[in-house]
Amino acid sequence: CKVIIKKGSHRTEHSGRISEKERKKGYVLACRTTPESDLEVLVPEESRLGGIEILTEAAKAKRLAGLYTPAEEIEEEHPHKTGPKIFKHGPLSTKIFLELSPPSMDDNPSDTERLFREIRKGRDIPVMQIGLANIKKLPRLLRESNWKITVTLGNRNGTTEVVLIEPGNHSKKNLGIALDIGTTTIVAYLIDLTTQKVLGAKASYNPQVDFGEDVISRIIYAEKEKGLEKLHHAVIDTINMLTYSLTKEQDLTLDDVTAVMCAGNTTMTHLLLKIDPTYIRKDPYIPAVNFMPVIRAAEAGIKVHPRGLLSCLPSIGSYVGGDITSGILASGMDNTKELSLFIDLGTNGEVVLGNREYFMACSTSAGPCFEGGGLSAGIRAMKGAIQGVSIKKKTLSLETIGGVPPKGICGSGAIDALSVFMENKIIDRSGKIKESAVCKIKEEGKVKRIVLADKPDSGTGKDISIDENDIKNIIHSKGAIYTGIETLLKESGFKKSDLKHVFIAGGLGTSLNIRSAINIGLLPDLPEEKFEFLGNTSIIGAKMSILSSEAMEKAHSIASKITYIDLSTNPAFMNNYSAALFLPHTDIDLFPSVKEIL
């Protein structure tokens, strides 16, 4: 949130994120600045929000070639589709057209019993319920529609509920919203629940970042007066904006949406539902709920049909949530006896080890580096972000998203940079910057920085650099992830050589250079063919679950058999973590392929 105050009086708190040189030019952190008069503020290019990348590189390339529409790109992105070969199609809400026979002296059950009888024809529905509001309007609606109606059935906590009754045939217009509520980004899919097609997709930054970058800071803010209400409304308002935009583009209305499926970490789910998250961060770290029952979306403030349903993927523990359950479901690692590793390279850095028999999970609190946070020139994966760095023939080359001049560096670019700089002896294994004939090195105070792009070549009019503090932050983040992996393997009695598959999730996973990640010690030294990118598995699992009750049942089964390992109380974690704060590791023999190139 760096901005430049051009005119006006203000007070600002000191921050190490603002250099002395920037301070003299009027830079301040907006979050730490209080206006004392009208201000004229310049938001520099590197601080502006850009479009969020939610598509795979392959999909984007095909779109540029005009091969298909944006909605079809989403289908291309999914490694698993909900269908007969995986899960039986049975969405959270279903619309069916019924033609009831009118009552007579010989056939005289009540209108409600007549409706239930017709619904059950050819369907295995042992338990059914209907609300008072629907019963009140049923007699007139049946007769005025000439006994031809559309009924929306909802799968609500094992019971089939008559959610909505409409006159005439509206069975072809049944929509759902799948949501990934991330700490940094919110993604929404508009899905045709009948055809299983994604009609559109949109993403937005999670505005809760204004109240804190990570879940702990947001929990602390929620404890303040009206803090929980502000955090709740921040996420709900964004969801409603995305949902309205998606339906409007398809010439549909919010009333056409009858089901919402949400995947998010435990804290995000609590804030979505306006549940006090205070005790998630206090010993013994207990959430209010892991397996949330299906409720009306309106109860949470989501603007879809007033009787539409909201379901949430089950959480596992305080710091491993429904987004990870969703990821395991999407990966299919619960369907094989082979040992697999699932890594979500986001702020919380969750790691899961297991197979169809059992799972162990932990949260490494990796920090925001892999999403562009915590870096002096860090930005999210947006147009102008450096996502690849290489040195060929003693020349530094950059790859940016969109192929435009660089505005900053995102997580994958930072990982690439460290690997390349270490391999070319520009930094040592502790992360200290040395001299280089390839890169321009500058020093401010006692901190050295490597210039990736000079002012004339950047998209911001400023140098784009990585300094020693940035390198330290990346080393701490990669050390946390690697030590989490190491801890789970040790706790379960396995070695890294026992791993058959390593699934990588998160926005960074679509552009991560595996070789670079191994080189810096983020990922274990294994053959590259064992690694598989899955992209945003949180939204993929949410889509699968809204389209299939079997998939949701599987998600509940997955969450029930996961053992959560609390790293903060694990005695070996801190010692192993300290050993991982080196490139690639203090014990270089753990990375034989890296040892060969150093």
DSSP 130-163: E-HHHHHHHHHHHHHTTTEEEEEEEEETTEEEEE
Across the beta sheet with 359-363, the strand order is 531-535, 501-505, 340-344, 350-354, 359-363, 562-564
**pLDDT tens-place string over residues 290-331:** 999 999 999 999 999 999 999 999 999 899 999 999 999 999
Closest CA to 451 of 436, 441, 461: 441
Identify the burial level of 432 via C-beta atoms within 10 angstroms of its C-beta, where 0-12 means exposed, 13-18 middle and 19 or more buried.
exposed
- Confidence tier at 49 by pLDDT (50, 70, 90): low
Are 2-43 and 93-167 in the same CATH fold?
yes
> Is the separation of the CB atoms in 468 and 449 below 8 Å?
yes
At 267, the amino acid letter reads T
- Confidence tier at 51 by pLDDT (50, 70, 90): low
What's the CATH superfamily of 2-43? Beta-grasp domain (3.10.20.30)
Confidence check: pLDDT of 68 > 70: no
Identify the burial level of 566 via C-beta atoms within 10 angstroms of its C-beta, where 0-12 means exposed, 13-18 middle and 19 or more buried.
middle
Helix ranges restricted to H, 360-513: 411-423, 468-492
Distance between CA 369 and CA 410 in Å, rounded? Answer: 8
The whole model's pTM is what?
Answer: 0.85
CATH no. of 93-167: 3.10.20.880
Three-state secondary-structure class, residue 24: helix
Strands 340-344 and 501-505, by their bridges, are parallel
Q: Which CATH number fits domain 332-368+474-597: 3.50.50.60, 3.40.50.10490, 3.30.420.40, 3.40.30.10?
A: 3.30.420.40
> What was the pLDDT predicted at 205?
84
| Biggest CA-to-CA distance, the chain | 98
Confidence check: pLDDT of 79 > 50: no
Distance between CA 242 and CA 590 in Å, rounded? Answer: 46
- The residue behind tokens 């250079």 is 513
> What was the pLDDT predicted at 271?
98
Strands 309-312 and 257-264, by their bridges, are parallel
Q: What angle do CA 243, 248, 252 make, to 5 degrees?
A: 95
Distance between CA 388 and CA 394 in Å, rounded? Answer: 16
- For the chain, the domains span 2-43, 93-167, 332-368+474-597, 377-466
Distance between CA 312 and CA 179 in Å, rounded? Answer: 9
